[in-house]
Structure 1
Amino acid sequence: MDALVPFQDLNLLPHPPISSSSTALLTPKMEPKTEPLDEDNLRLAQSPRHQPEILSSHSSHFPNSHLTQESISSDCESHVYSEFNRISELFNAAFYDRLSRLRSPESPSVPNATSPTPRKPDSGAIVPVPEGCNQASVSRSGGQNRKLDKRSSELVRITGLSSEDEGFFREVVRRTRMVYDGLRILSTSQQDAPASHLDGRRLRGDLAAASVMREHGLWLSRDKRVVGPIPGVYVGDMFLYRMELCVVGLHGQPQAGIDYLTASESSNGEPIATSIIVSGGYEDDEDSGEVLIYSGHGGQDKSNRQCAHQKLEGGNLAMERSMHYGIEVRVIRGFRNGVGASKFYIYDGLYRILDCWFDVGKSGFGVYKYKLSRIEGQPVMGSSIMKFAEALKVRPLEVRPSGYISLDLSMKREAVPIPVFNDIDSNNEPLCFEYLRSSVFPAFLVNQSRMVSGCECPSGCREDCLCAAKNGGEFAYDPNGTLFRGKPLIFECGISCKCPPFCRNRVTQKGLHNRLEIFRSKEAGWAVRTLELIQAGSFICEYSGVVLTRDQAQIFSMNGDSLIYPNRFAGKWSEWGDLSRIFPNYSCPSYPSVPPLDFAMDVSRMRNVACYISHCSTPNVFVQYVLHDHSNMAFPRLMLFALENIPPLRELSLDYGVADEWSAKPMICN
């Protein structure tokens, strides 16, 4: 196009009548639309130079990490997250629109701002990579000299990724989130460590983790400001903390509800909105899912109540300009969370801004409103899936009248029911097996359990007790039962210990508490999915079966029956809590050293829900070896933990190991 069409300042339109009692409030308090108000987030955004204190307080947890102030400062630039710079290699192949530059002051017509503005598919704010750009300069290993304190002003859209590229970026996001969770859990648990401060205040674990990762250049999408989908982030992904959205590049504002490129940064001199957060806490918002009426920012008091007219500037103007140019925005919805954080967030995909108008809000003041419609062809919204899963837990037969072959496969052996659902065929194989809540061990191991020594902690285990010493002088779980980091083996308190059942070192003995469902899948046969959010690092259930010695397994296999061999499970436990990208001298836990697991598990007649979990080389569940009822390290229990946040109705997956000896999952489970 020859020139960008100018826009009309909506502040010039007639404002709603204002009573004399409100004239003193005409000057609005202009600040970003906060979702929700969080002073710690604002302090983090305004004071980025406190991270070395946080790092030094965390390094004491790792005896092999000798991290000093000098090593941190020198490592900040060299430890840039170069992997994600591979995104730059794909810009030449992506579809970018080249547009005209900033319009001249004499631009002619002024459109009617009260009606939908003509859609312009092009915007000078979205620019292509220069044709002469050398790919070597933007390779994965490039960019180490680039500081990431300030976000890039280059606005790009990424399209046409191959399945291989999608898998690569998904793994990048996955590993970045694991580092974030590891730091967050560690910093939250260290209540007695030297406090990290911002203006004299202790920094929350989620903020501390984000701050450390920012200092080390591990925030994603900093080198490019991405319009549209973020590579590696899927519709329906859930985030427990607001700062995690910033870390993965989904929403770059720690506090503001509208993320946008300012006019001074944009190549065409106009602000462009890229994402919004909808939390349902604003009186003028109307959310029906596929269609959304979103109110602008400005004119609110400290309690987020409207006290003055809004102006067409900042994020408000950016939303109007994105509507004018037809630029899509990412929509993230926030929900109240009763399991740790004040809110959790779900990415619901891309929306198009259809209309913008100035209206009288419920408080009687002028408010800018934007009508957004979800772009077709995307996966189902994560928020809709979450609401559907909530209904399934309460009234399953009402929500899905047909398809259930059992409402509780465990027959009340578990604390929560395990339904079995099949709307594909008439197969009811899970009903043919006896449900086994925990593994059955040989008699000689049961006899050994009586000789195991225990701790003397009547009110709960302490850091200096016998069970802590077995684990190398530290407990494996935080007070909430979340696993700090994977280990070769974890010793939990057993029957000889004097500690109560609610001891923090008895996490896996409490059984299944997440609502799971076994379902029939066209791709994987029988599979397992969760009906609720499973937090990263939390215990799910035991992988149960009848334990066989080597001699027993050899005799049993002569009949042609398949067995589960625990030594074939991939060692994904080493990935959970791996902070080697933060602490240069970090080493994976090696204590206690576990001998080769020389046993098998028969699940051909007795099994539990875990036996139906599908195989995946990049799983969301991992196996952690645990001992609590005997001391023979060659026969641990197989406990399953979440490797990432698993949203409702998402399938669970395990890495069963050797591909040439295993099918998609064990033969008996198909």
Structure 2
Amino acid sequence: MGSTSMLQFQDLNDPPAAKIVPKIEPKLEPLDEPSPPTPPPPLSTPPTLSPFAASDVFSEFSRISEMFRSAFGQCPAGNGDGSVLPEADPDSLALVPVPGTEPHLSNVTVAGARKHEQRSSELVRVTDMKSEDQQYYRGLVRKTRMLYDSLRVFAVAEDEKQKNGDTGHLLHRRTRADLKAAALMRERGLWLNRDKRIVGDIPGVTIGDIFCFRMELCVVGLHGQPQAGIDYVPASHSSNGEPIATSVIVSGGYEDDEDSGDIVIYTGHGGQDKNGKQVMHQKLECGNLALERSMNYGIEVRVIRGLKSGAAVNSKIYVYDGLYRVVETWFDVGKSGFGVFKFKLVRIENQVEMGSNVMKFAYNLGTKPLDVRPKGYVTLNLSKNKEKFPVFLFNDIDGDHDPVHFEYLTTTIFPPYVSNYGSKAGCTCTGACFNDCFCAMKNGGEFAYDMHGTLVRGKPLIFECGPKCGCPPSCQNRVSQKGLKNRFEVFRSRETGWGVRSLDMIQAGSFICEYAGVVLTREQVQIFTMNGDNLIYPSRFADRWSEWGDLSQIFSDYVRPQHPTVPPLDFAMDVSRMRNLACYMSHSSCPNVLVQLVLYDHNNVSFPHLMLFALEKIPPMRELSLDYGVADEYMGKLAICI
């Protein structure tokens, strides 16, 4: 690894004024998520977990559900300020402790332990990040966020079971899924960056990353307060007796806030009633004083913007926009007639573009592309009206217009004999499908998707309801067969050749599109390879589906899904003349898209559809990538896109 250092922050021990004991009165974000509720008391005797039998197709969902419920029978919800210290890894690659600050065993929380320690007040800054360090920490943050989303989606599915009347094994009190996920990860010591307060950028978090819940910010250590808008080391915990701010959330919910992007006039906290109306004068204490002290010492703060979004599961998202400095503060009369503290924050130069700006750009691009980018578009309808949403084709690099010369497919074309294989029976449901219907039983007794169409966890194969089923198109078990849900753009890239990006935010576990082509028999494959045509071999895609919903870090006896079983995929797919946007996705060993095998229009398990789902939250304009497996001379994608 490189020589990254975690340096102790500069000495702030100038002779301070009279020590201020802060009154904990955080600046709360209006209409934001409430503080974590108090959970039901721990169960005196946790439910007994039944051992998993690999041959029992229908027991696995119940087994995982039981583990989930058992854990919550013993796990309290998060405390109000999020000040919890999970396990610190003293050997975490390039982070070198400052001499004299090496952790002691008595101060380290072991993963899985129930003891919650106070959050650290030690200020450090990460320096000298090498490329291998960046890659490592990016992977660590990615896996942590993926686990958080997996737990949250699983909790949503559990609540849906309760809502539908299947309450036999559930806790009697429902708790928000985002809080459940955060609580379980805290109990297992999986929260990041809690052993030190990092000033500046958080390793592994990049500008433009999006978060759908405040608790997710706490899990990765980007902002340590579940509800307060200012995160800071309080004076009572600071080594020099002065509070220091490290991050703020700008949501535009305060009447005196002003936000022009690079410059923010941020209103302090205090003096508001429960409805967010200013009714008293503010005081220079707590977070207000912390921002003033950060200005005095020239300490940068992280800025996270809260934006309303119809694509978010809670109608609001949080975007990391980079580092700012507090350059000025003053006391002013606010719009309500009461005194408020105002802080002028200016964005530090030479950072990449703000994620909030990229999101606004992508939104405008989807509604009026030629006004936003008058040059570079080859076509605004690559799919020729075959998709629900138009697919753009953009190239401002060279004159390559190759994608317009292919016939666009929305779904894979199988040989005629494939649909004649096996039973054609479907469920007999006339309304909504339930867990005892024919199609649910084929999936192991439960559906693979929640009510929002989100994949709960990856499986070797998923059976969706098909044309022979009696259920309506709105059925919960009809997801990937419905086509695109987002707007996409195929674009020319200097790094990857052709690539794909979305104009919308894509939630983790959401369906993206099918990887479509023409399926060839073994005999046809021999002829095509002799002619030098490009083929895709589905068997070579990496099994990334097993990463989505993997709860092995939470439950020690978690078992990777084994059913339904799928024989080796002994076929190839021709994309040399007919294809869709998926064929332009780039290869990555750390992809953000997974391949999930799905059947719905036939029952031949040897010829499933290759359906693509988001492996993590994907911001607008971020390139989509797949793990095509081992790259060799037979990899059609590499030949297509270079």
| Segment of structure 1 superposing worse, 157-166 or 143-152 | 143-152
Q: Which residue of 1 aligns with 2:578?
A: 606
Go from structure 1 to structure 2 and tell me whether the alpha carbon gap of 1:213 and 1:302 turns closer, same or farther (over 3 Å shift).
same
User: Which one of the candidate residues 99, 119, 125 is aligned to 1:130?
Assistant: 99
Q: How does 1:55-204 map to 2 (within 5 A)?
A: 61-63=61-63, 67=67, 85-87=90-92, 90-92=95-97, 129-131=98-100, 133=102, 147-191=115-159, 192=162, 193=167, 202-204=174-176
Equivalent in the alignment of 1:14: none
* Contact residue 505 and residue 620 of structure 2 kept, 8 A: yes
Query: 1:85–1:139: 8 Å Cα contact kept in structure 2?
Result: no
1:658 aligned partner: 630
Q: In the alignment, which residue of structure 2 is the partner of 1:391?
A: 364
Report the 3-state secondary structure (helix = DSSP H, G, I; strand = E; otherwise coil) of the residue aligned with 1:409.
coil
Q: CA deviation at 1:86?
A: 4.2
Q: Under a length normalisation based on structure 2, what TM-score does the superposition of the two structures give?
A: 0.88
Question: Aligned partner of 1:435: which letter?
Answer: Y
1:366-404 alpha-carbon deviations (Å, 9 max, x no partner): 100000011111111000000000100111001101100
Larger radius of gyration: 1
Q: What is the identity, as a one-letter code, of the residue corresponding to 2:581?
A: V
CA 1:263–1:62 in 2, change beyond 3 Å: closer, same or farther? farther
Query: What is residue 278 of structure 1 aligned with on the other side?
Result: 250
**Aligned equivalent of 2:35, options 35, 38, 42:** 42
Q: Which amino acid aligns with 1:521?
A: S
For the 8 Å contact 1:390–1:532, the answer to whether it is kept is yes
Q: Is the Cα contact below 8 Å between 1:51 and 1:212 reproduced in 2?
A: no
Matched, 1:402 2:400: no
1:281 offset after TM fit, Å? 0.5
Q: What is the match of residue 505 of structure 1? A: 477
Residue 309 (structure 2) pairs with residue 343 (structure 1): no
SS in 2 for 1:323: helix
Taking structure 1 as the reference length, what is the TM-score of the superposition?
Answer: 0.84
8 A contact 2:428–2:469 mirrored in 1: yes
> Cα distance 1:165–1:30, how it changes in 2: closer, same or farther (>3 A)?
closer
Question: Of 494, 510, 513, which residue of structure 2 is paired with 1:538?
Answer: 510
Q: For 1:251 and 1:85, how far apart are their aligned partners in 2?
A: 22
1:354 aligned partner, one-letter code: V
Mapping of residues 342-381 of structure 1, within 5 Å? 342-381=315-354
The aligned amino acid for 2:35 is L
Alignment correspondent of 1:483: 455
Matched AA of 2:99: P
Match of 1:413 in 2: 386
- Name the amino acid aligned to 1:477: Y
The question of whether the paired residues in 1 share the 8 Å contact of 2:16 and 2:241 is answered with: no
Partner residue in 1 for 2:55: none
Measured in 1, the distance between the counterparts of 2:396 and 2:199 equals 39
Residue among 240, 256, 260 paired with 2:228: 256
With over 3 angstroms needed to count, the CA separation of the structure-2 counterparts of 1:289 and 1:520, relative to structure 1, is: same
Describe how 1:420-499 pairs up with structure 2 within 5 A.
420-448=393-421, 451-499=423-471
1:61 to partner: Cα distance: 4.5
The CA deviation string for residues 441-500 of structure 1, in whole angstroms up to 9 with x for no partner, is 001113338x41110011121110100111111100001100000000001111111111
User: For 1:23-54, what per-residue CA distance to the aligned partner results, in whole angstroms no more than 9, with x for missing partners?
Assistant: xxxxxx9731111345x64244xx5896879x
Question: Structure 2: which amino acid aligns with 1:556?
Answer: F
Instruction: Give distance in 2, aligned partners of 1:138 and 1:573.
Output: 39
- Structure 2 residue matching 1:234: 3-state secondary structure: coil
Q: Are residue 514 (structure 1) and residue 482 (structure 2) matched? A: no
Query: By how many angstroms is 1:202 displaced?
Result: 3.0
| 1: CA distance, partners of 2:552 / 2:603 | 31
How many angstroms apart in 2 are the aligned matches of 1:2 and 1:282?
Answer: 31
Of the candidates 299, 309, 319, which is equivalent to residue 291 of structure 2? 319
- Cα RMSD over matched residues? 3.1
**Match status 1:526 vs 2:467:** no
| Percent identical residues | 60
Alpha-carbon separation, structure 2, partners of 1:70 and 1:591: 25
1:614 & 1:41 partners in 2: Cα distance? Answer: 40
> Which letter maps to 1:4?
D
Determine the C-alpha separation between the residues in 2 that align with 1:289 and 1:2: 30
Instruction: Give distance in 2, aligned partners of 1:635 and 1:52.
Output: 47
Other-structure match for 1:555: 527
- C-alpha displacement at 1:58, in angstroms? 12
Structure 1 residue 268 displacement after superposition: 1.2
Number of aligned residue pairs: 604
Q: Which residue of 2 aligns with 1:4?
A: 14
What is the rounded CA distance, in whole Å, between the counterparts of 2:481 and 2:616 in structure 1?
Answer: 21
Equivalent pair of 1:33/1:257 in contact (CA under 8 Å): yes
Contact 2:267 2:340 in 1 (8 A): yes
- What are structure 1's unaligned runs of at least 5 residues? 11-28, 93-128
Q: Deviations over 1:97-148 (max 9, x none)?
A: xxxxxxxxxxxxxxxxxxxxxxxxxxxxxxxx225848x9799998888944
Q: Residues 43 and 546 from structure 1, CA distance in 2 versus in 1: closer, same or farther, beyond 3 angstroms?
A: closer
* Letter paired with 2:619: P
Paired with 1:370 and 1:448, the residues of 2 have a C-alpha distance of 69
Whole-angstrom distance in 2 between the partners of 1:282 and 1:215: 34
Partner Cα separation in structure 2 for residue 56 and residue 607 of structure 1: 51
Between the aligned partners of 1:563 and 1:2, the Cα distance in structure 2 is: 63
C-alpha distance 261-132 of structure 1, shift in aligned 2 (>3 A): closer
